[in-house]
Amino acid sequence: MLLDEEECQLVLVDYQTRLLPALHEGPATLAQAVRLARMAALLEVPVFATEQNPERLGPTAPELAGVLAGSAAVTLPKMAFSACGDGLAERLRPPQRPSGGGNARSLPRHLQKAVPAPAQPARSSIVIAGWEAHVCLLQTALELLELEFAVWVVTDACSSRTERNRDAAFDRLAGCGAELVTTEMVCFEWLRSAEHPLFKPMQALIK
């Protein structure tokens, strides 16, 4: 199964300034997170970022924060390790379809406009990456799987303080049904073709 950009949302977990110095390959994973955010902005994929206890761990790293500020991204502070319980899950879910009322086409023409239109199809594929992969990323992704989202973990944009903790998170997530991908995989699956009108600017982001 390939990623479909029209079905995706991007979640970036806790790319915060005070975490960076202690992380394995921290700067490299931050650079990939910035690329993901820029690609999502080009393709109008909704973006959500989280910040764990920002008073203590600081704001989102400026390299990423600047990209988020220039798009319609939403940043959510949280105290729980999983972001789902602090508002993320509600943001990712589309409005529910109106209940009852029958088929609008069966109504007289002058009344049909009064019937609410069905909700837009769900963007049920969550592309997710983040720091402290074995804690906040892991717990958020597992809860998203429990909520029946399809979860795609961007491995080269994830880090923990130790490589072993990061890799243990990947093993557990794969065993629970998450797909493990890379930034370039996301890029080219969102594009699907070299004829995509945004192929050149997207390609430039990963060179």
Could you report the per-residue pLDDT of 82-128, keeping only the tens digit for each?
A: 999 888 999 998 655 444 444 444 444 444 444 444 444 579 999 99
Cα separation, 25 vs 203, in Å, equals 23
Contact 163, 46 (CB under 8 A): no
Cα separation, 206 vs 183, in Å, equals 8
Q: Which CATH class name applies to 5-93+120-206?
A: alpha beta
Residue 88 burial (C-beta neighbours within 10 Å; 0-12, 13-18, 19+): buried
Cross-strand pairs, 11: 48, 128
Q: Locate tokens 């983040």: which residue?
A: 130
pLDDT of residue 94: 60
pLDDT of residue 74: 94
* Residue 122 tokens, joined: 């769900």
**Axis crossing angle, helix 163-175 with helix 138-146, rounded to the nearest 10:** 10
Cα separation, 62 vs 8, in Å, equals 25
pLDDT of residue 206: 86
Neighbours of 185 (CB within 10 A): 17
